[in-house]
Structure 1
C-alpha cells in the first residue's frame, strides 16, 4: 500500500472534545483532517503532535463573482498562516461558501459561461498563493441531491474541468467518492480519469455517509485501482461512525488494505 490513510476529526469521536478526537485518530496511526480552523484552538492542535493532512482553506467567499472571489482569496491567505502552524500541506475549497448545515451561503442552480471564467481566474490566483507558500489548494466535488443543493461547480466533472483549466500543481482535486457516487457513480473509471489531478481522496459509504461496509460502494475495488495505478497520496475517511468510532476506523483501514 503506497497511499496513506487519514480521518476527519469533525465526524468521529463526537462525544469527546475536539483535541481529544485528534489525539484518538493520531493514536490509531492515521493522519487527521479538520474543517473550520477559526473555531479551533490552533495551539492545542499543534501540541497534539498529530500529522494534519487537510484543512479548510478559506473562511468565506465564492469562486465565481468578483466580490466573493476577493473575500475567498483574503481568507485563504489567513488560512495559509494557520496551515503553516499546523504544517498542513493541503487546504480545501468549494464552489461557494457553505453554512453550518452544508448549504451554500448563496445558492446557484444555473452556472453561466461568465461564472466558469471567473471561477477559473479565481482558482489561478489561489494556486499562485499556494505556490508562494509551498502548499496545495484542493477543490472538492460535492453532491447537490442530498447534502449540498444549490452549490455551483459541484460535480466531479466540474472540478476536473476547472483544475485542468488552471494547470497548476498547487491546485489539485479533493476527489470525494461519497459525493461522486451520489452525483455521478462509475467510481472506478472516475478514479482512473481523475487520478493525475488528485491531491487527496475522501470516502464514505452511500447511503448514510458512514464507514466502508455500511452501504453500496465496494471500497476494496477502489483500493485495488489505487494500488494498480501507484497512487501515493492520502485516502481519508470523511464519514460518520455507524456505531463505535474505533471500529469504524478499523473497517476503513481493512477496506483500504489491499489483499496480498
Structure 2
C-alpha cells in the first residue's frame, strides 16, 4: 500500500521499492486523479518498465450511512474510474466512514446496504469491484462498520458479486480478534487481505498476530486474491517488505 512507504516518493520510486522487494502490484489512494499529463506519461512508462500492477485504489471517503452523501459517492466513483482503468486497476476500497448523528443501528445498516447496492450498479458497466473495509474504533471513533463480522453480513444482504469485504487483520485484531474463525466462515466474500501487526502497524512478527497461521489458513481455504502489506516500516522499506513477502510465501507453501 503506497501510503505506508517513506514520505514524498514519486510514483516511479514507489514502484521501484515494490519491484526491488519482489512484489507484483501496488495499491494507491486517489492521487492519480491529480497527476499532470507529463506525470501520467512518466508514471505509466515506469509501471510498464517495472511490471508492477495497480490492484486497488481508494476513490474517496463518504459516509455510506448518509443518503445525503449519495451524490458525492456517485461523483467519487465516476471520477476515479478513468484513471484507474489507465493504470489497469479494477477494484476500489471503501469504508463505512462516519455515523449520522441520531441514526440508530437498523436504519444505519439499511442505508449502508442501499449505498453499496447503488455503488455496485454504478460499477457494473465499467467491470469494477468494490471492497468494504471495516475500520476499528481505536482508529476512527465515528466508524459505522467496525468488524468483518458485520461487514460480511452487510455484503450478503447487498447480494452483488461486485461488492466484497477487505479483511484487514490489523483492524480486526484491534476491534474483535477471532481472526481465523471469521475467515473460515466467510472466505467466499473476501475480496482483498491487508497485513500489519498489532500494536504499532509494523511488519508481521513484531506484535501479537500469528501471521504464519493466517497465511496457512488462507492457503487451506484456497484464497487466490491479493495479500497486501499495509505496515509502516521502521527500517529500510525494501528490506522489510522483502522479508515480509518471503515469510508469507514460506507459510503459504508449507500449507
Q: How does 1:212-223 map to 2 (within 5 A)?
A: 212-223=204-215
Residue of structure 1 aligned with 2:226, choices 225, 229, 234: 234
Deviations 1:122-151, CA, capped at 9 Å, x for gaps: 100111122211110110011112x22211
User: What secondary structure is seen at the aligned counterpart in 2 of 1:63?
Assistant: coil
Question: Following the alignment from structure 2 to structure 1, what is the Cα–Cα distance between the partners of residues 239 and 100?
Answer: 37
Q: How does 1:141-160 map to 2 (within 5 A)?
A: 141-145=134-138, 147-160=139-152
1:14 is displaced (CA, Å) by 3.2
- Select between 174-183 and 65-74 the one with higher mean Cα deviation: 65-74
Q: How does 1:77-92 map to 2 (within 5 A)?
A: 77-92=78-93
1:137 aligns with 2:139: no
User: What secondary structure is seen at the aligned counterpart in 1 of 2:177?
Assistant: coil
Uncovered stretches (5+) of structure 1, i.e. residues with no partner: 1-7, 97-103
- Select between 64-73 and 193-202 the one with higher mean Cα deviation: 64-73
Preserved contact between residue 61 and residue 70 of structure 1 (Cα < 8 Å): no
1:107 is displaced (CA, Å) by 7.2
- Select between 236-245 and 33-42 the one with higher mean Cα deviation: 33-42
Residue of structure 2 aligned with 1:183, choices 165, 168, 175: 175
Question: Following the alignment from structure 1 to structure 2, what is the Cα–Cα distance between the partners of residues 211 and 95?
Answer: 26
Aligned residues: 243
User: What secondary structure is seen at the aligned counterpart in 2 of 1:256?
Assistant: helix
Preserved contact between residue 21 and residue 242 of structure 2 (Cα < 8 Å): no
Residue 48 of structure 1: aligned partner: 46
Q: CA RMSD of the aligned region, Å?
A: 2.0
1:46 is displaced (CA, Å) by 2.4
1:111 is displaced (CA, Å) by 4.5
Preserved contact between residue 21 and residue 239 of structure 2 (Cα < 8 Å): no
Question: Following the alignment from structure 1 to structure 2, what is the Cα–Cα distance between the partners of residues 155 and 221?
Answer: 20
- Larger helix fraction of residues: 2
Question: Following the alignment from structure 1 to structure 2, what is the Cα–Cα distance between the partners of residues 248 and 34?
Answer: 19
Residue 100 of structure 1: aligned partner: none
Residue 28 of structure 2: aligned partner: 34
1:109 is displaced (CA, Å) by 9.0
- Select between 236-245 and 12-21 the one with higher mean Cα deviation: 12-21
Question: Following the alignment from structure 1 to structure 2, what is the Cα–Cα distance between the partners of residues 245 and 40?
Answer: 25
Name the TM-score, length of structure 1 as normaliser.
0.86
Q: How does 1:34-113 map to 2 (within 5 A)?
A: 34-37=28-31, 38-40=33-35, 43=40, 44-49=42-47, 50-57=52-59, 59-96=60-97, 104=98, 111-113=104-106
Uncovered stretches (5+) of structure 2, i.e. residues with no partner: none
Preserved contact between residue 196 and residue 230 of structure 2 (Cα < 8 Å): yes
1:217 is displaced (CA, Å) by 0.6
Preserved contact between residue 66 and residue 100 of structure 2 (Cα < 8 Å): no
Larger radius of gyration: 2
Deviations 1:8-34, CA, capped at 9 Å, x for gaps: 121123363343112221343311011
